[in-house]
Amino acid sequence: MYLNKAIIVGNLTRDPELKALPSGQNVASFGVATNRTWYNQNKEKQEAVEYHNVVVFGKQAENSAKYLKKGGSVLIEGRIQTRSWEKDGTKIYRTEIIAETVQFGFRKQEEEKPTSDFPTDVETNDIHPDDIPF
């Protein structure tokens, strides 16, 4: 059995471009950047960035074009595909991730609100058993 699976989490390098195929099916394409950080033998921090071409079909293509914007974070799960074509007698290759699942990134929260109405700064040693009404 063989497996062709790609999972990336990164930021969009450009807004999605939505088009329609001759069959009427929607297709969106956009770029995603991922980075990797490591330390070399001299304990110096190193970084590398990879750029991925992503293609999405159908309803996910519409939603991607509607909600994703350059700089936003996204998780893509799909398969890797390389296609080729000729331009001016030269063969051109392009490797893409054909997305099967697109999960939109996290939005920055302004400020977390407490989950309860109870004050959080009450010290437990300020409560005396005589003050409890039952």
Question: 35-68, pLDDT tens digit by residue?
Answer: 999 999 999 999 999 999 999 999 999 999 999 9
pTM: predicted TM-score of the whole model, two decimal places: 0.73
Residue with tokens 């490591």: 38
Rounded mean pLDDT, 80-89 = 95
46 touches 26 (CB < 8 A): no
pLDDT of residue 128: 60
Say if CB 67 and CB 25 are below 8 A apart. no
Residue 103 is predicted with a pLDDT of: 94
Q: Where are the domains of the chain?
A: 12-106
Question: Is the domain 12-106 a CATH 2.40.50.140 member?
Answer: yes
Strand partners, 94: 83
**Strand duo 90-104 + 45-57: pairing:** parallel
Q: CB-based contacts of 120: which residues, under 8 Å, 6+ apart?
A: 114
Which segment of 43-47, 73-77, 105-109 scores lowest on mean pLDDT?
A: 105-109
CA distance 58 to 66: 13
Q: Which amino acid is at 72?
A: G
